[in-house]
Chains A and B, each alone.
Chain A
Amino acid sequence: MTVEQAAELTLTPVRSGVGVSVPRPDGTLKVSGRYAYSSDLWAADMLWGATLRSPHPSARIRSIDVGSARAMQGVHAVLTHNDVPGRRTYGVERPDQPVLAWDVVRYQGEPVALVAADHPETARRAVAAIVVDYEPLEPLCDGDAAIARGARKLRENDNEVHRVRIRHGDVESAAGLADVVVSGEYEIGMQDQAFLGPESGLAVPAGDGGLDLYVATQWLHVDRDQVAASLALPHDLIRMTNAGVGGAFGGREDLSVQIHAGLLALATQRAVKMVYSREESFFGHVHRHPAKLRYEHGATREGDLLYVRASIVLDGGAYASTSAQVCVAAASFACGPYVVPSAAVDCVAVYTNNPPCGAMRGFGAVQVCFAYESQMDRLAAALDLDPVALRRRNAMAEGSVTPTGQVVRQPAPVNELLERLRARPLPLAPPTGGRDPRELPGGVSNTTHGEGIRRGVGYAVGWKNIGFSGGLDDYSTARVRVSAAAGEPLVEVHTAACEVGQGGITVQAQIARTVIGIEHVVVLAADTGVGNAGSSSASRQTWLTGGAVEAACRAVGEELLGRAADRHGLDPRDLRLRDGGVASADGSVVATLAELLDEPAEATREYRPRRTTPLDENGQGDVTMAFAFSAHRAVVDVDVELGLVRLVEVATATDVGKALNPQSVEGQIEGATAQGVGLAVMEEIQTVGSRIRNPSFTDYLIPTILDAPAMPSEILELPQPDAPFGINGVGESGIVSSGPAVMAALRMATGRALERMPVRPHELAGATAAGGASA
């Protein structure tokens, strides 16, 4: 299905179709503070829910006493695990997480009890009045320790959530042939999605014994399945609607308030609202897996890669969440977008008592990119080769084979992306003295007037999957209805695809306009009243739901042409939609749409992309639906005495297939780039003894606009085969290599090895002898 085929249906160019930067309906509302987020939901007479969470990362629960909480005035319900009528656990991939803890708690912040009260303050006090007798246990804090011999078993399988083993080519022989071998150990801290809209939702009991749930989420149908299982209600009695999402980035794939608010609403038969505070939010969603990565690369003297050995430990924290899929992704992409004839990759996701980790933008591809790109720089240094030249020499291209044995049957412009970045002029070197402090490392904090500054430039390239991997049945559904509203044709698009800020609503409307040729398109609220759309994750929603919308629009368009053909005795193949009517091949109008829409025309279609396969016991298989490639060049100024950084420019080159909405595409690339550089220089959830030390935006720092570099983007549009309009996903690719590029630039500026991300000032500092100032 390509844009050419779609054009067969319609002859009318629409103003706001695909390829145009149509403004988003939520944009102005959000920046002017008028957008209704899920935390703004309100129902007359509603109660407020609150959650009691474990203060301990690991403990036995001896008893829970809710007596005094229940007795408080204004409290309508206090619930514990005993009050969960259905399945007592939930989980996106594996239902291993208690709805409410019983017997044990496995991470700090684990939900133990719930309260509904007539005021949030009352609910909070009632939570504080619940008495839980804990027997604290020594937490298992470290991923390596979790799989060491003799480790305390938190779970079955020796604390392994999932393990992937890839054996490709012949590493042993390749190692014998290598002229140069470099190895390294890399580490990545725990990044948070840091979305600004905390978890929130409203559960309303319905007259039929069911429940209407309004929650900010990423995947309505899988939420509904889990809610139904735990509430012991049939699926059709749970109706879910996506509420205004204030950012997601993977952090809303796992449930937060869904089951809890539902339990409280059913118990009280009142509407119940739940909103996490900022601090609670840090405990209320999963984070990016911290990782330890041990790598060995072997190459010929000329710089041809011969083999890669990689051993990766992902700390999944207390529950499975999406760890298994993250593990598959990390393993599949472990060697980078290079031709690697032989590879041995062992990747394991483990259970610890740390905060649960799961989906976050980049999903496993981010962690490994830091390691393989650090290795490529190290190899270039060992070979005395230019780092970009080494990358280009080994770059993957269309037709290359990945370490899982998959042939890349799509554009893979790794070489071209690097070439584009290399060709860009470098930003000017800093002048000495007299500069605006905002242009200096330390910014407004006035730490340097030019002293100690060194510039560094670094490159990195990354890849990741688009769509669900490893044989999962990935699809989306759309219902499209065309009717006459006040004599004018109106298109209504209904899907369950969650708008999480990516611009999905806008692009669905653009596709509908282009395919049917009608300007007036309304995208209905995403809910479970229509079929599954899959998750707004894996950079897949524009492709899959876009594909479903396109298919449903085509079906409706054909229905209208069929009506015209029937009524006028013509061959539908000779007809086209045109200017609000149906025209024959010579352009003369046969019928107006108003005439044809005496009855609305409606169609529901599912879109399924090419099926992937699971990995076999050697980690071989066509696991990936499609690949996304992007590259970054970072230019940094470092105050090498204080270890402070100013990101001067982080340029991106990305292949997007086709930019359906160029402004949205740029927004995704810039946002992802900024989130990636945040991981490089500041973003980390710090834990000590499995306890979070910085659950606030005072100490979990994300880049401000003064920290954000200039982010010019080079956008390539090489059509994806088999994708609607030739598009490729763009939601994540920008995050994969931006951090690694910054790290490379920091290494150049400081001459330090920098094997851990995020890098801290003390690791960057002290690179010059005391007093050595360059200004």
Chain B
Amino acid sequence: MEFLQPSTWEEALAAKAAFPDAVPIQGGTDVMVEMNFDRRRPDVLLDLGRVRELADWASDAGSLRVGAGVTYARVIAELGAMLPGLALAARTVGSPQIRNRGTVGGNLGAASPAGDSHPPLLAAGAVYEVASAARGARRIPAHEFYLGPKRNALEPDELIAAIYLAPAAGGQQFAKVGTRNAMVIAACSFAVAVDRSARTIGTGIGSAGPTPLQAPDAERYLAGVITDEGLWESGRLPDEAVLERFGALVADAARPIDDVRATASYRRHALTVMGRRTATWALRDGR
């Protein structure tokens, strides 16, 4: 096995171009597990741990750029106020060890439908920057990034550079269901982001379909009621029945299956409940 260790972004992209089969490794919390379980034996490992450009986040003209190599621990410690949805999700990831090593970029690279970063990023309307040596950088909206179970929109010569998103302009929430109260892979999860300036509601569903999903009908419905009833201005919460309906529409958007972690019908049920609860909290939070 070949082990490449570029120290700049440029070198990293050159290496990926030279070895399109190279498996990038950031925190290694997915890659090393797969190797250990003998599911993957790459000929070339491309270690991104020394690439400075990936390891930082910056705020620029009302938008945040979060490098693909920023760990969950740093998201929680440094970005909690600006990205509460992502930070809530980060808090639920694994254990302290995993949060210290694991990165948001790695979560995108793995593109597991159960990855906890995806729902809050979808809900917040994030855009991912990917790049190749040959064609430079391009941006992919979160909802176009996930193609199938553990498949994303990266070309073989591309690497994930960063995530762009705006600081929260309203309440954001994330909830995940599993049979353990910590260190559990989601049986299903849900994120909601209220944008009071754009007057929209964003959603993201995890582990209830082949890819992370959004619930556009639910988004439009709730934003519509809030607008129609003047609740953006008054700050009042919509009626319980509206929130209930929002939850039901979230569940309708899911495409769950029965598997070792939960049944499809329980996943739908849980999404209904989480949809209602998280929307209630998010609307209350940002008033």
Contact = CB atoms under 8 A, between A and B. Distances in A.
A707 B277 contact: no
Given A765-B266, A771-B240, A447 B182 contact: no
A761 interface: yes
Nearest to B185: A698
Contact of B91 (A279, A444, A642, A766): A444
B175 A761 contact: no
Contacts of A760: 179, 262, 266
A657 interface: no
Contacts of B260: 686, 693-694, 699
A132 interface: no
Contact of B244 (A445, A704, A770): A770
A681 B272 CA distance: 23
Which of B37, B240, B277 is packed against the most chain A CB atoms within 10 Å?
Answer: B277
Contacts of A642: 177, 270, 273-274
A124 interface: yes
B239 to A, nearest CB: 11
A190 to B, nearest CB: 13
A436 to B, nearest CB: 12
A447 B175 contact: yes
Interface in A619-649: 641-644, 646
Which of B179, B260, B261 is packed against the most chain A CB atoms within 10 Å?
Answer: B179
A641 B273 contact: yes
Interface in A152-172: none
Contacts of A445: 92, 175-178, 181-182, 184
A124 B38 contact: yes
A448 B278 CA distance: 9
Interface string B241-285: 000100000000000000011110110011011101100010000
A442 B277 contact: no
Given A699-B261, A771-B240, A771-B276, A704 B177 contact: no
A703 interface: yes
A445 B178 CA distance: 8
Given A446-B88, A642-B273, A770-B272, A277 B36 contact: yes
B269 A444 contact: no
Nearest to B116: A445
B147 interface: no
Contacts of B175: 442, 445-447
B269 A766 contact: yes
A698 B180 CA distance: 11
Which of B91, B184, B244 is packed against the most chain A CB atoms within 10 Å?
Answer: B184
Contacts of B187: 761
A449 interface: yes
Contacts of A449: 277, 281
B244 A761 contact: no
B174 interface: yes
Contacts of A705: 182
Nearest to A770: B244
Given A279-B37, A762-B269, A447 B179 contact: no
A721 interface: no
Nearest to B174: A446
B200 to A, nearest CB: 22
Nearest to A647: B181
B182 A706 contact: yes
B181 A704 contact: yes
Contacts of A643: 266
B182 A444 contact: yes
A766 B263 CA distance: 14
B179 A681 contact: yes
B244 A762 contact: no
Which of A277, A443, A696 is packed against the most chain B CB atoms within 10 Å?
Answer: A443
Contact of B180 (A447, A682, A762): A682
Contacts of A771: 240, 244, 276
A717 interface: no
B183 interface: yes
Contacts of B88: 446
A771 B245 CA distance: 11
Contacts of A144: none
Contacts of A681: 179
Which of A277, A279, A762 is packed against the most chain B CB atoms within 10 Å?
Answer: A762
B214 interface: no
Contact of B177 (A124, A447, A707, A770): A447
Nearest to A762: B266
A277 B36 CA distance: 9
A181 B36 CA distance: 55
5 contacts: A124-B38, A442-B175, A642-B274, A761-B270, A762-B269
Interface of A: 124, 277, 279, 438, 441-449, 451-452, 641-644, 646, 681-682, 686, 693-694, 696, 698-699, 701, 703-707, 760-762, 765-766, 770-771
Given A447-B277, A762-B262, A762-B263, 15 more contacts: A277-B36, A438-B182, A441-B181, A444-B91, A445-B182, A446-B91, A446-B174, A446-B175, A641-B273, A646-B181, A682-B180, A686-B260, A704-B181, A760-B179, A765-B270
Interface of B: 36-38, 88, 91-92, 95, 173-185, 187, 240, 244, 260-263, 265-266, 269-270, 272-274, 276-277, 281
Closest 3 CB pairs of A and B: A443-B181, A762-B266, A706-B182
